[in-house]
Amino acid sequence: MKRLPQKGRIDRTGRCHIQYLVFIIGNITLSQPLLLAPMAGITDLPYRLLHRSFGCELAFLEMVSSQSLVHESKRTRRMLSSVAEDRPLGAQLLGNEEDAVLKALENILPYGFDMVDFNAACPVPKITKKGKGASLLKDPKKVRSLLEVLVKNSDVPVTVKIRAGWDKDSINARDVALHAEDAGISALTIHGRTKEQGYGGRVDYAAIKNVKEAVSIPVIASGDALSPQLIKKMFCETGCDAVAIARGSLGNPWIFRDTISFLETGLIPERPAPDQRADTMRRHLDLICTFYGDKRGAILFRKLFSWYVKGLHEIRSVKEDAFRAQTREQMNFLIENIRDFAYRHPEGSYEAFVLSC
């Protein structure tokens, strides 16, 4: 595949310029270099549909293990649910055995997803103890062999997600990336932290940049994509082709719209007023209750409620009530209450607001 030009370019004055916004993975062309990353327990169908309404083009399912796909449990089938407007859509697989990964691929291809991603980045101990996720970073050749199985048997683009390394003494993302590229993948995502860091500490922009400079496939950067300013910094510091947004989208579906505006014009739209935030919350709640049913939907929305109202002043009592809400009607009532609240931070302090969340 032809090497893509770098997006971020720093001129002599130290200013960063974004050269273009189109992003290509295999046969998929996006008008923006942003995607919604897979998040366990978060990126279900309602979550994806809501974020697409604010400009997200490419999204991923929650990470799904090879074993659960083989057994095809009811929960797994629900995780795989999609609709026509939920495209393009990627599925992320987790596993460490070729036979299981192949069987999982065979089970998932009939669903018609647009790409398959392989997870070699998850730092959760219950995953790495089984030799899966970020544990695979210790064996780049095994990563390559697993990806070769996927590439050989998939009729859609195959990608992989990795981390900077296992710990600070084993930063080997460049080596892993080269083995992955040799397997024939269409793109690579790298989270700029080690497994030992988890989601704490600083993102290693240099590790991402080293991977970008080493491979000819598109590189998607991940880590601290919490605001338009930090996303632009990621482009400029690493030269990456796209950025994966995860935690930055929690309670903030506007991040896609706002980031594109910032990259194109240098301007960020005003934060949604509390009443606009309430309207979005109600729409999200409706999507969840339609998908899961009113009772389960209301309970699942509790954590989402908490994320949505971060940054509002004196909201604690309402948050506490939301964590006790049992019905859709109760949750709707609490959502209506937030229309009367104000932001804690001065207008215009977008990054301070997001980072406080």
Active-site amino acid positions: 122
Contact status, residue 116 vs residue 141, Cβ threshold 8 Å: no
Contact indicator for 106, 129 with CB cutoff of 8 Å: no
- Is residue 215 within 8 A of residue 178, CB to CB? The reply is yes
Measure the N-to-C terminal CA separation of the chain; round to a whole number of Å.
39
Place of tokens 């040799």: 182
The tokens describing 193, both together, are 């932290």
One-letter amino acid at 41 equals: G
